[in-house]
A = this chain, B = another copy of it.
Amino acid sequence: MSARPENYPTHSLGHLEDAEHGIRVPVTQIAQDDSPTGTPNPPLEVYRTAGPGSEPEVGLPPLRETWIRDRGDVEDYAGRVRDLADDGRGAVRRGEASSEWRGARRSPVRSLEGRTVTQMHYARRGEITPEMRFVALREGCDVELVREEVAAGRAIIPANVNHPEAEPMIIGRRFLVKINANIGNSAVTSSIAEEVSKLEWATRWGADTVMDLSTGDDIHTTREWILRNSPVPIGTVPIYQALEKVSGDANALTWEIFRDTVIEQAEQGVDYMTIHAGVLLRYVPLTANRVTGIVSRGGSILAGWCLARHRENFLYEHYDELCEIFARYDVSFSLGDGLRPGSLADANDAAQFAELDTLAELTERAWEHDVQVMVEGPGHVPLNLVRENVERQQELCHGAPFYTLGPLVTDVAPAYDHITSAIGATEIARYGTAMLCYVTPKEHLGLPDRDDVKTGVITYKIAAHAADVAKGHPGARQRDDALSKARFEFRWRDQFGLSLDPQLAEEYHDETLPAEPAKTAHFCSMCGPKFCSMKISQDIRDEFGDEAAQQEIAAAGMAEKSREFRERGGTVYLPEPGVGVPVGE
């Protein structure tokens, strides 16, 4: 087994238990030191998506397998015949894929003929599934809220019956804001092992779902490795692989090739798929006078196809058939916004909103099949236009979860687009976006490496968390308050442990005050060992810090108190010269 993905010595794996239903939800327990007064600080239990840790060659245990089979509505079947072309032209040439998956292999399952196995279907029938119990425990909410929101389409639990390794996760505006990390191979620059390692890395830092956007060689096999090792739902964009199967000639794409690709991926266990069924032929000319045209890769493939054939988008034409497939595996739609704006200038324009109207129509059509849906959103949007995006989507799509890429609030900062987009992401999540797709510093410039993945995930954890706090989500501020209390009490190690990136926080601290004792010392690097504003505040609290004392002060004036204060602590601080630069005065 690889080491458990703990980020800091004060972190450990704990569980929330629903003993009655045999459900255990992993959490990260963050231990804390006692306060200087001796009062203990209970460990904080925080949301965790890193899973139990896996040996990549073996894969994760199939947590949900009995849940799925106990419902009695699926069948094992032989599955689609494997085609070397699934792994691209390289595999065909070589006569084999590289790094064939050799871990656990289960035959695929699907619903019995005529049955629907989606969480939405169960929810609408009033059934509480173990998946719903799991997410309710995780979110700390009533399971009935979960069922209601899933039944209404306002939340989804992407949970393909062929991905039993994943821990259920809910995406919806009534729940914690989620974040997605994109990974994916490239023939030139990364291997299967690297992608599996990026998956582990992304979930270790808190990714709630991961999209495999591979377009390179060994696309099928890479996905197999990722699914078998992923404790989080996996999303894909099947048009990328379909395009590979026709050697990149988009005009040669057909519904049949696409359909076959969707079934291939559904059998592997992909939990949600981006489907650009809203890029309609008549919308394409609306993009012609944009500053940046069509920036979605899937969108442009389909726009090109529509124009070249002068036919309606085959995904739109065959949408009901897609719904029928998705219903048999519980694949969720992520309705792609192929016409999203790629620059501030194009935000909230006719093309974008025309497509959104169609995505709303498609949402309702999927719901007729009890298929789960989320809707993708932009992109690049000036901050003053961000809110309109989510409010319009929520209204038109009857509350179906919104899943946005940022948006970036300025175009002028390539290399910092994790930041430009985190600003827009926080704003859009605050008004109801359910999941945020991360953006890394390499956006627009190159392929994210391991460091970029980590920076993207942590930046988006910040955005999601800040939105949870702004929404007043129950308990969201607990971690902030714990960290601030630790800061006020000079419990340095607890500040690191409670932070989103304990190692980096500790490393930065140690650059200025490297000595080990400094971590428990009652001062910080800004003001040095003798002078400290927090120390003064503690003295004030000691003096005035309970209600009785405050009333007494109000009643008696402060003269006497002041005398006592001076006598007892006269020198509340004894600053030494030149001990540091306060960063904010």
Contacts and interface: CB of A to CB of B under 8 A. Distances in A.
Nearest to A218: B578
Interface string A495-527: 110111100110111011100000000001111
A237 interface: yes
Interface string A539-566: 1110111110110010000110111011
A505 to B, nearest CB: 4
20 contacts: A182-B585, A215-B581, A240-B585, A247-B577, A248-B531, A249-B575, A287-B537, A288-B540, A294-B540, A308-B562, A310-B566, A342-B487, A409-B469, A413-B500, A414-B499, A418-B419, A420-B466, A423-B462, A443-B583, A444-B487
A16 interface: no
Interface string A177-214: 00000111111111000000000000000000001011
A43 interface: no
B550 A430 contact: no
A91 to B, nearest CB: 10
Interface in A272-300: 274, 281-282, 284-285, 287-300
Nearest to A488: B292
A287 B500 contact: no
Which 4 interchain pairs have the tightest Cβ spacing? A293-B537, A187-B578, A216-B578, A310-B562
B570 A530 contact: no
Contacts of A293: 488, 533-534, 536-538, 540-541
A309 interface: yes
A412 interface: yes
A294 B500 contact: no
Interface stretch (A62-70, A128-136, A149-157, A472-480): A472-480
Given A307-B540, A525-B446, A534-B293, A462 B410 contact: yes
A487 B215 contact: no
A405 B420 CA distance: 18
Contacts of A304: 536, 539, 572-573
A343 B484 contact: yes
Interface string A93-133: 00000000000000000000000000000000000000000
Nearest to A559: B310
Given A383-B426, A384-B430, A508-B442, A462 B285 contact: no
Given A248-B576, A412-B483, A537-B292, A440 B583 contact: yes
A212 B121 CA distance: 63
B583 A442 contact: yes
A574 interface: yes
Nearest to A91: B577
Contact of A484 (B291, B524, B549): B291
